[in-house]
Amino acid sequence: MTDSKLIIKGIYRDFQNKNNLIFVCELLNGNIKVGKHILCKKQMIGKIISFDTIKLPFSNNTYEVTINTKNYNWKRNDVIDKEITIL
């Protein structure tokens, strides 16, 4: 079984919860599942809280993924346009 992979295209604040961020991602392979953790270059980034499909005319695999980032320490440049693994 292969790991699910994403590429983060944008990061936004979740104004309803300061511990969450909203990622705009392109799903490369696999599935997104609530409750799973995500990893970038052996660094834990956060836990998936929710996700939804973004309907774009040029892509059918773009998602809005809400991540709880409390207790995780990383910077935007560490993850933007990088391949992310869902564990």
Q: Give the distance, in angstroms, between the CA of residue 44 and the centroid of all CA atoms in the same chain.
A: 11
Query: How many domains would you assign to the chain?
Result: 1
Gap between the Cα atoms of 28 and 39, Å rounded: 15
Gap between the Cα atoms of 58 and 43, Å rounded: 31
CATH label of the domain that carries residue 81: 2.40.10.230
**What is the per-residue pLDDT across 10-57, written as a single tens digit (0 to 9) for each?**
999 989 998 999 999 999 999 999 999 999 888 899 999 999 999 888
pLDDT for 80 equals 85
pLDDT for 23 equals 92
Considering the entire predicted model, what is its pTM? 0.86
Name the pLDDT band for 79 (thresholds 50, 70, 90).
Answer: confident
Q: Is pLDDT at 1 greater than 70 in this prediction? A: no
What is 25-51 written as a DSSP string? EEEEES---TT-EEEETTEEEEEEEEE
User: Domain limits at 38?
Assistant: 4-86
